[in-house]
């Protein structure tokens, strides 16, 4: 009997061993580069994106191509989704043509409904609640820079500086699985999902001081103050996030070997200074590249069977 389709809607759709194995496989795909096997030959991946994207779109399209699959990009502007065709119909119809759906949308519940109706694996390419593919790339980058065992040893300290947003939530899920220490410095009113915080069983905490979170950290991580869909809140958020910039003074509080991560796109001079983004501690462009490698491992896992 065929095994049931497997979705990837959140980090915890994998278990601890599954995340570590996927990161190892991603490192192998990275070494293979543009060469390597084509386990998805004959397949086609659909990308259904209701928000803008540079990295996620291109890295999935290239990942599909390098694995031997085709891909098709579908925005609401070009499909009947934009004219109100229900997602339950769209998900079922697309499942008749395509082998996986990579979906970027607003409400996480909408993604879950698509996954419920689709007969093929659905991958979360970002929702308002989470961005698990990005955090897989962040974890690979952390292991590359700080040593392959760093995610498996106790003592890794990760700081999140800024909004308790979709990225922060996915880092909390990673914390719940892998057990590192996660300090999130968020202004009051911008905390991450409390249910995810509770799942970390004391290993994650929210503080109000970026300096407190950054001190002694191995990884300093940040993101925009206003995410996609929150553009109207930009001015208020700029006031509320004053003092939450990742600059050289903040990075100096971290360990000497600490790395700085940002999922991009970045606003230089807001959440991160130009000097840090371009500086020696920045792993940000490796992090962006690693989207490709982890997504090749993920597509292989979900689609290529044993």
**Is 96 among the residues known to form the active site?**
no
Please state the closest distance from residue 166 (CB atom) to ligand CP, in A. Answer: 10
Strands (E), 18-83: 44-49, 70-74
Report the candidate in 208, 141, 138 with the shortest Cα–Cα distance to residue 173: 138
DSSP bridge pairs for 32: none
**Residues sharing a CB contact under 8 Å with residue 294, sequence separation 6 or more, in sequence order:** 22, 23, 26, 133, 136, 137, 140
Asked if residue 255 has a cis previous peptide bond (ω within 30° of 0), the answer is no
Whose CB is nearest to ligand CP?
56
Among 12, 53, 170, 221, binds ligand CP (CB under 6 A): 53
**Is 263 among the residues known to form the active site?**
yes
Residues 270 and 238 sit within 8 Å (Cβ to Cβ): yes
Report the candidate in 250, 304, 290 with the shortest Cα–Cα distance to residue 272: 250
**Is 223 among the residues known to form the active site?**
yes
If one asks whether residue 166 binds ligand NVA (CB under 6 A), the answer comes out as yes
Catalytic member of 55, 223, 262, 281: 223
Catalytic member of 133, 263, 281, 287: 263
Among 165, 183, 222, 287, binds ligand NVA (CB under 6 A): 165
Task: Give, to the nearest 10 degrees, the angle between helix 284-303 and helix 16-32.
Answer: 110
If one asks whether residue 206 binds ligand CP (CB under 6 A), the answer comes out as no
Among 228, 253, 267, 286, binds ligand NVA (CB under 6 A): 228
Candidate segments 34-42, 84-92, 165-173, 199-207, binder of ligand NVA by CB under 6 A: 165-173
If one asks whether residue 54 binds ligand CP (CB under 6 A), the answer comes out as yes
Chosen from ligand NVA, ligand CP, none, partner binding at 166 (C-beta under 5 to 8 Å by type): ligand NVA
Which of the residues are catalytic?
104, 131, 134, 223, 263, 291
């Amino acid at each position: 009997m065929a095994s049931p389709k497997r979705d990837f809607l959140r980090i915890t759709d994998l278990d601890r061993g599954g995340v570590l194995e996927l990161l190892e496989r991603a490192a192998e795909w990275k070494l293979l580069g543009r060469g390597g096997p084509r386990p998805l030959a004959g397949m086609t991946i659909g990308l259904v994106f209701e928000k803008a994207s540079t990295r996620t779109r291109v890295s999935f399209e290239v990942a599909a191509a390098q694995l031997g699959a085709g891909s098709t990009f579908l925005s609401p502007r070009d499909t009947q989704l934009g004219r109100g065709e229900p997602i339950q119909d769209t998900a079922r119809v697309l499942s008749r043509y395509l082998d996986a759906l990579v979906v970027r949308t607003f409400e996480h519940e909408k993604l879950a409904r698509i996954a419920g109706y689709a007969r093929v694996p659905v991958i979360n390419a970002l929702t308002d609640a989470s961005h698990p593919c990005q955090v897989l790339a962040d974890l690979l980058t952390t292991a590359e820079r700080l040593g392959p065992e760093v995610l498996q040893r106790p003592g890794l300290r990760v700081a999140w500086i800024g909004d308790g947003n979709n990225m922060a939530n996915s880092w909390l899920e990673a914390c719940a699985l892998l057990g590192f220490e996660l300090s999130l410095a968020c202004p009051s009113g911008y905390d991450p999902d409390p249910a995810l915080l509770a799942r970390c069983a004391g290993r994650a905490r929210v503080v109000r001081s970026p300096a407190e979170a950054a001190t002694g950290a191995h990884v300093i991580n940040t993101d925009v103050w206003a995410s996609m869909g929150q553009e109207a809140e930009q001015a208020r958020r700029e006031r509320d996030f004053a003092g939450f910039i990742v600059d050289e003074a903040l990075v100096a509080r971290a360990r000497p070997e600490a790395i700085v991560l940002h999922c991009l796109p970045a606003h230089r001079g807001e959440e991160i200074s130009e000097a840090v983004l371009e500086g020696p501690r920045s792993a940000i462009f490796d992090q962006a590249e690693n989207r490709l490698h982890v997504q090749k491992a993920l597509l292989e896992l979900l689609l290529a069977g044993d």
